[in-house]
Amino acid sequence: MASAKGERAEELPPDGTCDVCEPDEAQSAVGVCEECGFSFCQPHAEEHGQKYAAHRLRGPASGREEAGEEAPKLERKKCEEHGQELNLYCKEHEKIICVLCAVTGTHRQHQLITLDEAYQAMRVTRSEMKLCVQQEFDTVRQLVCEEERKALHLVDLQEAVATAHVTEVLAEINIHMAKLMTEMAEIRRQLNTFNELALLKPESNDEEPRANPFPPASPSRGNRGYDDKDPSSANGPC
């Protein structure tokens, strides 16, 4: 157990402790982030991995001890300008800097904090992440429900318009049918009246006297009397 700890200590940064823990309670580091150069103990390594999933934490052994390969030395990232270890954080530029950057570089008179303070300020606990995800999920669900409600309302409006149109057409058909029924009833009444009159009217061959084809003869001249006032030749004796 002691030999394992000794081998691991050789692979860690010089102090071999977590950069996030309090200095008087710092735990042994188990890995270093290749992107930010921080050393982390196991709990802080898990928190860092949850917040920055794209960052890669290098473990001390990585299974190379069993293969007989020499494990790479883990080193902190250094300032490209001054070659010093990055151990401060500039809040104005949101950048990790070294001591010389803070004293003589472009970050003079900026608000500076330690790496531990920067990590604590940006740290998001698991419960906070879960709450944030739940809030985002609730927001998306509300938007989906609202869009679904609008879609259903639109369908109801379309059905209402279609139903109103059908009702209007049916009402017009009923009015037209009622008009036709009234006309048919009037025609039927007239036919019944005509039939009744036809039954009551006597036949012309049986009831009416036959007309005399010969007109009555005019009175003969001998039977006519003489009219003294008529000067015509027809007035007088035959």
User: For the chain, which residues make up each domain, given as ranges?
Assistant: 2-123, 124-195
Write out pLDDT tens, residues 175-192: 989 999 999 999 988 888
For range 127-140, the mean pLDDT: 86
Phi, psi (deg, nearest 5) at residue 203: -75, 140
**Structural fold of domain 2-123:** Double Stranded RNA Binding Domain (3.30.160)
Task: Quote the tokens at residue 101.
Answer: 């950057």
For range 24-43, the mean pLDDT: 81
More confident residue, 112 or 56: 112
Q: Where are the alpha helices (DSSP H) in the chain?
A: 2-11, 42-51, 64-67, 99-103, 115-122, 126-200, 204-207
For range 206-227, the mean pLDDT: 54
- Whether the pLDDT of residue 131 is over 50: the answer is yes
More confident residue, 41 or 58: 41
Let me know how long the chain is: 238
Write out pLDDT tens, residues 75-86: 667 888 888 888
Which of these, 53, 95, 91, lies nearest to 77 by C-alpha position? 95
Can you give the pTM of this predicted structure? 0.30
Question: What sign does the CA torsion over 49, 20, 114, 12 have?
Answer: negative
